[in-house]
């Protein structure tokens, strides 16, 4: 079955060409599996088509798993830089409008004013107080006095 060798290699080359044209790594593993099967099928004991299909499946799966691991190593996820209100956590700000118990006030953080409520709902935070942003809820920040850090 000399012709099966060339069919497997042709399938592998076609998959590699498709891989170059399309984004992602979907066809690469199939190409590696087909070329590997074509090369291994030269050995007389592997000339049965069922054995070749098993070899193709195993080599494609192995190629996919190895490539996924290698691509994950190369393309490590970047540290997600928080932006907008989510970047305010752990920063300090100045109260610009008094924060009364169970009411919101305003805090200036890095030159921008944000609505804020006190973490301690019984606290009053007068204007000019230095506060630390503990977390965000919706479009407001939850604050505590700076000297109350954990």
Residue-range definition of the domain harbouring residue 67 = 2-74
Per-residue pLDDT tens over the stretch 108-139: 998 889 999 999 888 889 999 999 999 888 88
Same domain, 106 and 138: yes
Per-residue pLDDT tens over the stretch 30-63: 999 999 999 998 888 888 889 999 999 999 999 9
Same domain, 106 and 49: no
- Write b or e for each residue in 11-43: b if 16 or more Cβ atoms lie within 10 A of its Cβ, otherwise e: bbeebbeebeeeeeeebbbbbbbbbbbbbbbee
**Does the pLDDT at position 149 exceed 50?**
no
37 beta partners: none
Of 74, 97, 120, at which residue does a domain stop? 74
Q: How high is the pLDDT of residue 58?
A: 95
Same domain, 70 and 88: no
Same domain, 61 and 108: no
Domain presence at residue 79: no
Exposure on the CB side of residue 104, measured as CA atoms within 13 A: 11
Q: How high is the pLDDT of residue 123?
A: 84
* Selected residue with higher pLDDT from 67 and 99: 99
Determine the Cα–Cα distance for residues 54 and 84; give it in Å rounded to an integer: 52
The tally of domains found in the chain comes to: 2
Per-residue pLDDT tens over the stretch 66-76: 887 777 666 66
Q: How high is the pLDDT of residue 143?
A: 93
Domain presence at residue 97: yes
Q: pTM, whole model, 2 decimals?
A: 0.48
């Amino acid at each position: 079955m000399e012709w099966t060798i060339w069919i497997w290699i042709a399938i592998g080359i076609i998959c590699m060409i498709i891989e170059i044209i399309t984004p992602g790594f979907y066809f690469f593993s199939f190409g590696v599996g087909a070329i590997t099967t074509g090369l291994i099928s030269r050995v007389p004991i592997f000339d049965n088509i069922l054995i070749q299909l098993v070899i193709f499946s195993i080599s494609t799966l192995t190629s996919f798993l190895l490539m996924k691991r290698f691509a994950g190593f190369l393309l490590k996820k970047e540290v997600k830089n928080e932006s907008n209100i989510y970047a305010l956590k752990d920063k300090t700000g100045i109260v610009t409008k008094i924060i009364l118990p169970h009411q919101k006030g305003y805090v200036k953080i890095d030159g921008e004013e944000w609505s804020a409520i006190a973490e301690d709902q019984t606290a009053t935070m007068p204007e000019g107080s230095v506060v630390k942003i503990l977390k965000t809820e919706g479009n407001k920040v939850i604050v505590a006095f700076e000297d109350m850090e954990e």
